[in-house]
Amino acid sequence: MQKGIRRLGVFFIALTLLLVVNLSYLQVWGQKGLLENPANTRRLVEEYGIARGRIITSDGLVLAESVPAPGPFAYLRRYHQGALFSHVLGYDSPQFGRTGLEESYNDQLLGRKPPRSWVEEMTSDVREGNDIYLTLDAEVQSAAAKYLGSRKGAVVAMNPKTGAVLAMYSWPTFDPQALVTQDKDADGTPLADKAMRSYSQDTGSPLLNRAAAGLYTPGSVFKVVTGSAGLEAGLPASTVFDCPGVWEVGGSRVTNYGSPPRSFGRIDMETALTHSVNTYFAQLAVKMGAPALVKCAEAFGLNSVPPLDLPGVSASRIPPAGKMDAVLLAWSGVGQGEVLLTPLQLCLVGCAVANGGRIMVPHLLKEVRKGEAILDRYDASVWRTPISADTAAEMLKMMVSVVEEGTGTQAAISGVTVAGKTGTAEVEGKPPHAWFLGVAPAENPTVVVAVVVENSGGGGGSVAAPIAREVIRAALR
């Protein structure tokens, strides 16, 4: 009898211990998972009971704020600028969750970060979040949208000295307000559901942030990387190659522009970059070898995800050196083959050239504020140093020649020395992409702009360069 009671007692003690362990786990380690579980409607009601902080541009334009709402949620988001900033802002939707900066800085906007003192945690109930101030400039963003217009593509503008993103625009775009509304149509169908269905089924992919996630064949803008790799590998700008209209390698034919393809004879790197001579950069890539080209490209950030404070950023790509034969290497040198870039990555390449070889960490956050009090501030830091200061200076000088007398003359601005590189990327079965990379003012760069116009059918110099020119003009103002 006593033995049975002892066993029963041990059993209940074990159950009690298991209960204590389970409760401890849920309260300490499992709390975050329970809070973030989509089935937890209590979490939604709690979070939408907080007046989420505003999102504001560097020049004071309010992009998003929370307003009182009827129904189960005390507050809902209001986006004041429609589709202009949508890919950066993302949305904060009870149905579809959060994307963009609404996701990245959710804790700050809800007032959970920066951490409060233990006294505040114990004595006050958060009902109002913190404001987020961005590096984005409304005038530069508006210029990007205006001059890209209704053409598929993207524009990224950055300050190379700090890594601050001044503009990031992608088209087609979407209206985030349509995804957060709780209104219904006459049949009782939520309008937000209809909008999401429409955006998701649109073949133009309006929800895709082409600026940070779109991967494109870069064409001749990649010659900035190839040229830099050559300089770093000990092949100076004075290196001369004989550049016929067609250069054969491994049974493949690398051709220059023109019909018939233009022959340039014996030229150096500056002449080749100025006139975007494919047969020069194909030979340069083969001369330096795949390891040198891939090493430099990866130093710029290819095959890595740039540390931008935004979800959904893609890694640009270049094949491993060991998988490159002479044909793939030659075509990679002119930005074709299997090389893929995001506009963001191209802008970061330009930032290295503009900033003495250093790429600063790209960022959209400027400050976190509570009223007038600054709670947190983004501190600029170096992400990578892919090239030397001498290589950066040499490349910048050659890029000035591109705009002054080469393929990029339509990027020129009176009274400003603009450096740049055009690109016209061939795409199988479709019209080419038009690219431009611009840096200004070349004497002391404060803005780098990357533009891609998807399947534009035109060249980078005629299609993308004028867009970059106007974005640069807006940034310099």
Sorted by where each starts, the structural domains of the chain and their CATH numbers stand as: 213-363+383-476 (3.40.710.10)
Tokens of 405: 């007398």
66, 93, 170, 220: the catalytic one is 220
Q: How far, in Å, are 55, 140, 208, 282 from residue 465 at the CA level? A: 31, 16, 23, 24
Q: Helical H runs in 40-105? A: 41-47, 86-89, 100-104
What is the 3-class SS of 169-193, one letter each residue?
A: EEECCCCHHHHCCCCECCCCCEHHH
What is the number of residues in the chain?
477
What is the predicted pLDDT for the residue at 200? 96
In one-letter notation, the amino acid at residue 30 is G
Predicted pLDDT at 7? 72
Q: What is the pLDDT of residue 290?
A: 98
pLDDT for the residue 122 = 46
The pLDDT, as a whole number, for residue 47 is 82
Per-block mean pLDDT, blocks of 10 residues, the chain (477 long): 68 76 62 55 75 96 94 90 96 95 96 68 67 98 98 98 98 97 91 96 97 98 98 98 96 93 97 98 98 98 98 98 97 97 98 98 97 94 98 98 98 98 94 97 98 95 98 97
**Is the Cβ–Cβ distance between 334 and 249 less than 8 Å?**
no
Q: How far is CA 55 from CA 121, 316, 317, 399, 437, in A?
A: 24, 29, 33, 37, 29
Active site residue 220: yes
Helix and strand element counts for the chain (H, E): 18, 19
What does the pLDDT read at residue 28? Answer: 56
Question: Cα 230–253–232 angle (5° rounding)?
Answer: 5
**pLDDT value for 394:** 98
Say what the pLDDT of residue 127 is. Answer: 81
CB burial class (10 A; 0-12, 13-18, 19+) of residue 21?
A: exposed
